[in-house]
Amino acid sequence: MKEHSNVIVTAALTGAIHVPSMSPHLPVTPEELIEDGIAAAEAGASIIHIHVRDPETGRPSSDLDLFREVAAGINEETDAIVQPTTGGSAEMDIDERVAVVPELEPETASCNMGSMNFGLYPILRAQDEFKQDWEPTYLDESREFIFANTFGDIERLLEIFDRHGTKPELECYDVGHLHTAKHFLDRGLLEPPLRIQFVMGIHGGIAAEASHLVHMYETAEKLFGDTYSFSVIGAGHKEFPLGVQAVSMGGHVRVGLEDNLYLEKGTLAESNAELVEKMVRLTKSVTGRDVATPQETREMLDLKGYEKVQF
Ligand code: KMH
Ligand code: ZN
């Protein structure tokens, strides 16, 4: 039985799945993202995962100035690890998605481990009214979207990450993605310790079910043994059940409005910090594990440190 470390809690502030009409609390502008990110860090998140949005419309954006402003703003007040996305949104190509890495040289960024369908259109059934025209179109067009992360793409991304000292967080949406990570580890394009995120409950990926989490875990244990740690996203209402399961199994956890808008059934979360607070409370009361500080997280994940980023 492995000794369980303190728990790394990630807050994913806004993402590119939800549209602003779904919650008035989804942070959109740089000011909102900074304020929400700081509060999430103060509530116990040591990693703040960021996407950015057009401040006028809330549409997902790849604007590097926005990324810089948000990352710098969060680190003005906290020592949390700011982790930009390279997953971006359905409307961005891979070069646009990864540009944030050479630009900001962050300590870590997400790196997606495979191509897949990524359906947002089921949201249309639950949401009757949209404040802006782009929102229903954006969701509807996901029927035809392939989230492309070919072997060639991943190879290129990992080389870029390596050049800039940025540790990839390996986003694995299904069991095959774990084998892809192992392939890149064997080829020397990834270096241990690996940081793997099991992304569960995306329409097109593995479902957010307890038994599937066990299978992801057992597969990762077999492939990576002592050379990795894992974190779990349970999308939607599975955020807390899978989060509790993850921390009970010795893993880490991600919560946030990118993945789930509700604090509990029928109650929208008013901030990312509320979701972090709830997860921290559950972690401590169910497992007795404490939450990792940013410094402990840097050590566990072997990150280069804030002094080496470019923001
Ligand atoms: N959006 C999530 C399903 C990324 O940004 O690169 C996973 C994610 C990946 O956060
Ligand atoms: Zn993301």
Kindly report, residue by residue over 253-294, the tens digit of the pLDDT: 999 999 999 999 999 999 999 999 999 999 999 999 999 999
Cβ of 107 closer than 6 Å to ligand 1, yes or no, is no
Inter-helix orientation angle 64-77/30-43, to 10°: 40
* Mean pLDDT, rounded, for 125-147: 97
249 confidence band (pLDDT: 50, 70, 90): very high
Task: Please say if the pLDDT value at position 1 is more than 70.
Answer: no
> Which of 92, 147, 199 to mutate for ligand 1's pocket (most ligand atoms within 8 Å of CB)?
199
Cβ of 86 closer than 6 Å to ligand 1, yes or no, is yes
> Which of 171, 259, 260 to mutate for ligand 1's pocket (most ligand atoms within 8 Å of CB)?
171
DSSP assignments along 156-171, one per residue: HHHHHHHHTTPEEEEE
Task: Please say if the pLDDT value at position 129 is more than 50.
Answer: yes
Closest to 56 measured CA to CA, from 32, 72, 82: 32
Is residue 279 within 8 Å of residue 255, measured between CB atoms? yes
4 confidence band (pLDDT: 50, 70, 90): confident
* Mean pLDDT, rounded, for 198-217: 98
Provide the pLDDT for residue 287: 96
* Averaged confidence pLDDT in the chain: 97
Is residue 270 within 8 Å of residue 39, measured between CB atoms? no
Rounded CA separation 113/172 (Å) = 6
3 confidence band (pLDDT: 50, 70, 90): low
* Residue whose CA lies nearest to ligand 1 atom number 1: 15
Q: Which residues touch 282 (CB under 8 Å, ≥6 apart)?
A: 240, 243, 244, 247
Please confirm whether the linkage preceding 24 is cis (ω < 30° from 0). Answer: no
Kindly report, residue by residue over 39-73, the tens digit of the pLDDT: 999 999 999 999 999 999 999 999 999 999 999 99
Is residue 164 within 8 Å of residue 48, measured between CB atoms? no
Rounded CA separation 206/190 (Å) = 23
User: Is the backbone of residue 235 left (phi > 0), alpha (psi -120 to 50) or beta?
Assistant: beta
